Structure 1
Amino acid sequence: MRRSVKKIKLIFVMILMVFTLVASNTINHYQLGANSPVSQECLIVGTGDCRGVSTTPSLPTPMPEIIVTEQDRFLAAIAPHLSTIPQVGSYEYILLRAYGAAFINQNPAVQLPATVLLQDEPETLAFQETLTMMKVDGTNDCYLQASAATALNEARSQQNIPLKSGYGSGDCTRSFATNLRFWYKYANRNTLEQVRAGKETAILGVVAPPGTSQHLWGLAIDLRVSNAQQRQALYEHGWFQTVAKDVPHWTYLGVKLEDLPQLGLKQQVINGISYWLTPL
């Protein structure tokens, strides 16, 4: 009887060992098979060429962390509007850095030029003829693109927000000739070449070089903003200050304040004023 019990115990232990080995082999087979089809063949006796094939399970390669910078987000946002992104260090790149915030505009009704530089009056007129314009309420001859004017009119219906001049067309959409006239009011003959060479940038916050003003696009206006309530009303309707140190200059971006960082713009506070600038 004792021999029978011992024999049964021995058989049970052997069965348990075989089960453990089979289970272990199944796990290794799955791990190897998932990583290499050749290794899977090597697990089947007599099949496949197993020379040089490692039977050690390999861990999956970790995915690299993708870092998305402000510049990446900005360039992705403006890509649908610009035919080409200017080369770093070029005159067009300098202009994009100073005035390119408007290109993040997501409103399909807004028209943007295909370049940051309009070469002359005919090119400027050709672009402006594609725009749908609307008069700003309570002004004599101030016109903006319709979406921008509508948003501004709504903001001004909530708060008293006067134009810089009080009424004039020069605060709104300008001609190439007007842009040129303003430029030579503040710059001399050598200034443009200095800007082109990247040696002069401070003037870009005072006046835009010929053919580069956001006012040519019908998306900018000069305002007299003196309190937080006026500023908040403009923010709520997609208007922001986007040209560093140009205090009266406001640009229609057509997006919410909280969306600006997602589109790559960075906030910079200068003398208590929040500007939303390009990350270039």
Structure 2
Amino acid sequence: MRRFLKRIKLTAVTILIAFTLVASNVVNHRQVDANAQLINECLMVGQKDCNALATAPRIPTAIPEIEQSDKERFLAAITNNLSTIPQPGSYEYILLKAYGAAFVNQNAAVKLPSTVLLNNEEETQTFQNTLTMLKVNGTNDCYLQASAAAALNQARSQENIPLKSGYGSGDCTRSFATNLRFWNKYANRNTLNQVREGRETAILGVVAPPGTSQHLWGLAIDLRVSHPKQRQILNQNGWFQTVAKDVPHWTYLGLSEQDLLNFGLKNQVERGISYWVTPL
């Protein structure tokens, strides 16, 4: 009789575990649906309700292997977002090192390009046409991916955080042509070849080569941030500085500082400013 009761208990525990796993899977799918539904509702009902996106549930991030190095954890974290990891020493690897922090974003509502380089205006426009965009409150034609804009709107509702220009679209999502125009402003005709060959890297903290800017992805914005409270609020809403020495540049990662460490990003301090950079 005791053996029979013990078997019943074991069966009940097994069923409970199985039910829990199934329920957990259903919740994950619902979280994805919730993000998509909030974006759609946001766009339909108007700007004032879009801040709900900033706190929308997302798929829980997988816990990386603690024994792995920062580089191993980073590469594992970006595998789902980047179709092919560039070979070390290649131009694409140089770009991934400089601008690849954004690929750790785990938010199901955020879209990232499948490569680190968009070769021309057509490729850029094709990618941007897949994005759900949202206007940043109080700006003139400044749009970001919906989750990024909602998180920024939430931060700016808590603290005064002006755009670098004060209002303009140039601080936000850019076209390939705009990226190229900024590049030509700071680089000469030999600079791109020098970057490709790995002989010039300092300029990557000033301006992104054509087709490589995080601004093309709708996940970056230039801001005027001058005191710790602004940085704290931005960080709490998933916004971080990710390009070393590019002070105005902020990227939406949608994660906490602990998540960034878990996924292998390094906290690099330059002149008192914390940048979250790749470990490559």
Report the Cα offset of residue 253 of structure 1.
Answer: 0.1
Aligned length: 215
User: Aligned-residue CA RMSD in angstroms?
Assistant: 0.7
Q: Which residue of 1 aligns with 2:34?
A: none
List per-residue Cα deviations over 1:116-138 (Å, max 9, x = no partner). Answer: 00000000000000000000000
Give the distance between the partners of 2:221 and 2:180, measured in 1 at CA.
Answer: 17
Give the SS at the match of 2:114.
Answer: coil
List per-residue Cα deviations over 1:238-257 (Å, max 9, x = no partner). Answer: 00000000000000000111
Answering whether residue 82 of structure 2 is matched by residue 82 of structure 1, we say yes
Q: Which residue of 2 aligns with 1:212?
A: 212
Q: TM-score, normalised by structure 1?
A: 0.76
Q: Which residue of 1 aligns with 2:130?
A: 130
Report the Cα offset of residue 67 of structure 1.
Answer: 3.7
Q: Which residue of 2 aligns with 1:58?
A: none
Q: Structure 2, unaligned stretches of length 5 or more?
A: 1-65
Give the distance between the partners of 1:158 and 1:185, measured in 2 at CA.
Answer: 35
> Which is greater in Rg?
1
Q: Which residue of 2 aligns with 1:55?
A: none
Give the SS at the match of 2:81.
Answer: coil
Q: Which residue of 2 aligns with 1:151?
A: 151
Give the SS at the match of 2:155.
Answer: helix
Give the SS at the match of 1:269.
Answer: strand
Q: Which residue of 1 aligns with 2:249?
A: 249
Q: Which residue of 1 aligns with 2:98?
A: 98
Give the distance between the partners of 2:225 and 2:79, measured in 1 at CA.
Answer: 32
List per-residue Cα deviations over 1:93-122 (Å, max 9, x = no partner). Answer: 000000000000000000000000000000
Q: Which residue of 1 aligns with 2:17?
A: none
Report the Cα offset of residue 199 of structure 1.
Answer: 0.1
Report the Cα offset of residue 221 of structure 1.
Answer: 0.1
List per-residue Cα deviations over 1:30-54 (Å, max 9, x = no partner). Answer: xxxxxxxxxxxxxxxxxxxxxxxxx
| 1:19-38 superposed matches below 5 A | none
Q: Which residue of 2 aligns with 1:272?
A: 272
| 1:1-280 superposed matches below 5 A | 67-280=67-280
| Counterpart residue identity of residue 104, structure 1 | V
Runs of 4+ in 1 over 3 A off after TM superposition: none
List per-residue Cα deviations over 1:73-110 (Å, max 9, x = no partner). Answer: 10010000111000000000000000000000000000
Q: Which residue of 2 aligns with 1:11?
A: none
Report the Cα offset of residue 258 of structure 1.
Answer: 1.6
| Counterpart residue identity of residue 141, structure 1 | D
Give the distance between the partners of 1:257 and 1:91, measured in 2 at CA.
Answer: 29
Q: Structure 1, unaligned stretches of length 5 or more?
A: 1-65
Identity over aligned pairs, percent: 78
Give the distance between the partners of 1:140 and 1:91, measured in 2 at CA.
Answer: 35
Q: Which residue of 2 aligns with 1:14?
A: none
Report the Cα offset of residue 225 of structure 1.
Answer: 0.3
More helix by share: 2
Report the Cα offset of residue 259 of structure 1.
Answer: 1.2
Q: TM-score, normalised by structure 2?
A: 0.76
